[in-house]
Amino acid sequence: MIVPLREHPKSDIVITAPTGPFQGARTAFACLAIGFGCCVLATRLAVANTAPWFNKVRPTEELVLATSADDPALRRRFLALSPAVRPDEAERVAHCAYTTGRELARKWRVVWMPGVQNFLVNIGARKGGLCFQWASELLIQLNALKLQTLNLHWAESYAGLAGEHNVIVVTAKGQSFDKGIVLDNWRYEGHLVYGRVTTDPEYRWTENPAELARRLKANSTPIPQSGATHGEMKR
């Protein structure tokens, strides 16, 4: 069936459009597609010219996706830091890092790409999920373990830029920062990835001891005793 939509006042040309029982559904679907496209475009614009927020980071030999809260490979990484590292502490840190990521992903209703989650947080559609929030929550949980043979470090990359990323790095007690292991729940939407701090394929990490102290103090948590700190104090 053809029905007139609008007739030009100075001609006999009639603009028509098809109608039928499925026309409303087609229109709704088209609007949905356009709306989704606009959201994707807006998100891309929001994260343009930053660090690799929008690209999925594929695990490599330098970056490993934890398999479970009892991942034996991650426990071995901690134990390999020093003969002084206690097996029970290696196990507890691995378990805490993995489960914290999964719990926060549920709590913050994390979506399928970290750049999109950042966008949703920034417009108020999600309560959490920015990288520093992942790192801060993990720091609080790990510090509560009262570790004796492992130290925690606050690490940053692209500091002061729109694409700044923050993670927690774990070393043996008194060990230098560049020997540590990165723990990152942000890049895979709450799925823990880990690797050596110096071989991360996406980021170059710098320690920020002042930020570590500030966040622990803000949480009213005592700063754990540790050996000498290493790295810059940028903030």
CB 150 within 8 A of CB 94: no
pLDDT in tens, 72-97: 999 999 999 999 999 999 999 999 99
Domain assignments of the chain as residue spans, ordered by start: 2-47, 64-113+125-218
Q: Rounded to whole angstroms, how far apart are CA atoms 117 and 109?
A: 9
Q: Rounded to whole angstroms, how far apart are CA atoms 98 and 105?
A: 11
Residue 95, phi then psi, degrees to nearest 5: -65, -45
Nearest one of 212, 143, 161 to 52, comparing CA atoms: 161
pLDDT in tens, 135-169: 999 999 999 999 999 999 999 999 999 889 999 99
